[in-house]
């Protein structure tokens, strides 16, 4: 029930709010461009931009199925970033990689991720990770 209470307002907000976290046009027109990935980056890499805040997620993939009760959220940020994952808050230093252990419950887990800087730039998304314990042979 807790997941529904968290996800429903986020889904409604996402449906009614324009996505301002997309990269700005390089020509300075202010128009937004669709999310792009570097050609050499692994398929799992995702990147969001909001002003000077660039948040890159390298693991896990959205919809990943894991067989351990913990997953590492990994990536980088361009500037000092306050990161909230569900009820946990982390302070990430500028320009460094991070790897944060996140406890999972059996089944689907909705990780509500909010990255923000001190100037008010914000990036929000929900990442789904499914924990399926390995079956013990009998």
pLDDT at 89: 95
CATH for 2-21+45-131 is 2.60.40.10
Local mean pLDDT, 10-residue blocks, the chain (138 residues): 41 40 44 36 74 92 93 93 93 93 95 94 95 81
Report the candidate in 61, 60, 63, 58 with the shortest Cα–Cα distance to residue 47: 58
Q: What is the pLDDT of residue 44?
A: 67
Q: Cα(first)–Cα(last) distance of the chain, in Å?
A: 33
The DSSP element (H or E) to which 10 belongs, if any, is helix 2-16
Residue-range domain boundaries for the chain = 2-21+45-131
Please tell me the predicted confidence (pLDDT) of residue 137: 72
Whether residue 126 contacts residue 7, with contact meaning beta carbons closer than 8 Å, is answered with: yes
Q: pTM here?
A: 0.63
Classified as helix, coil or strand, 103 is strand
């Amino acid at each position: 029930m807790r997941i529904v209470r968290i996800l429903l307002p986020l889904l409604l907000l996402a449906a009614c709010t324009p996505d301002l976290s997309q990269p700005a046009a390089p020509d300075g027109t202010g128009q937004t461009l669709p999310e792009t990935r570097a050609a050499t980056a692994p398929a799992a890499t995702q990147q969001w931009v909001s002003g000077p805040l660039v948040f890159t997620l390298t693991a896990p993939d959205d919809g990943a199925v894991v067989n351990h009760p913990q997953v590492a959220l990994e990536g980088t940020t361009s500037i000092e970033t306050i990161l909230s994952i569900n009820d946990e808050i982390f302070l990430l230093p500028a320009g460094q990689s991070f790897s944060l252990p996140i406890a999972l419950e059996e089944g689907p887990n909705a990780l509500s991720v909010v990255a923000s800087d001190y100037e008010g730039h914000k990036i929000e998304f929900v990442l789904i990770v499914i924990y399926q314990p390995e079956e013990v042979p009998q």
